[in-house]
Structure 1
């Protein structure tokens, strides 16, 4: 009986507290007014974001940890994330194995030239599909989007034959020429981005320009293209990153005489096998080259990472204004 009375008294106390002003405030803080602004919801969202962030950042943590490890740290099971000493020779070895100056220049030429060309050509195509009514416009838009769905492995053989006949293999022309004709890497997505952006622009701008006597080309270059600066930035960054990281297309169309960074990373052990004796342990059967590989991966990802860090604010703003989230 005493236990039942104690339980009843505690329950009555809790009920009185929850009905009091302090109890209502505490309940409002914990649960929230709409179940998504209380402490419980915030803790759950923070937990989910932490898990997702770890899943995305764990490969980067592994790269940063492994690229400073020596061979003794790599074979020591007690060394997990933090190496005993900062082993910087991995960067020198990776620099030589990647043939970094040559591969960096080749990759930069392809990524920068194709990205600039794609911004210009996809903007023209997207503007035409958005603002000019003509027979078959919907069908052409559908065909353009289908080129984004088709995997590159399906058309790589006919492309190889065509590029070989024109003599473009082993040169940047295999990527620059398709970009000029609006068929570069992921061009369909970029055309769709510009199309959505130009469709959102009011028709009064074009009507006012026509009343002032502006031609179609002048209206595009003087009015529409400056307004699409945010979309241009988004397309440029996406295109640059995709061309920078491409491996399959570069491995098919660019033999050894024109290596890119992605190809050089794949062939790094082969390149190091012909270097002097200080690299004699770096062979295909040696499992202790993980630090060198991670140093090479870091040397590859650091340029686009720096570009994103510099342009992050404009990049996020451009995504919000370019119609991607619609």
Structure 2
């Protein structure tokens, strides 16, 4: 199983696009190394800007470049990009309708032992509430490349969050349909639907495999776009399977689970469980350790699925 860090794919894809279109510009906040943008800076120095540790200025500069016709991609740690510069995101990108693409690197609990100051577990909630912002969490290297290419053609503000470490492939190749706002059905089943996003898609798939051994078939949806949300796929899943579990590397408030619950509660109520980080400073540790602690793991998903199925027994 291949494992490649999505941030490296972001850099490689932006180099490819930047060589074809000189209007593409990459900006970082003293993070070209952690964002894997060193090669972009080396190969396309005239299309690269280092703003230093000044996230508010970083977003403001990007908005100015967009207003001048450039296509800026801003790469910065998600924990800082989504918190320190949120007023600039609201005003300079959303309100001003500028074509800025934000890439939150080392998202979720990727920084592990550095703890709450470096975890980004509120970013989806904040970005969801800002008008017009597209929010993407690609699951693997193939989807990351597709998402960057889609954003290069998308005429508006967007936030893409990726992790820090290499992740296993979800797809076998790029030979699948990707569109902003359209979920991908990775497996079908009639008993329950598992909805993941970003690195939790792999957890959903592995849980489906284990549940099938118990005779429980699962629909697995990769909700790579949190906004605009694929309401049609969610409602179809609710009708077809009658039960939903959402899985995310984010607070249980305001993220994927909340977005799905808003749709289901208002349009087709079914039993639903939200798996994510509890309302507390997340424990420090490696991603698998943090995931296991908060039940973002196969064992917990299996128990929740059995619990939901017992409700209809």
TM-score (norm 2): 0.22
| Between structures 1 and 2, the one with greater strand share | 2
TM-score (norm 1): 0.21
| Between structures 1 and 2, the one with greater helix share | 1
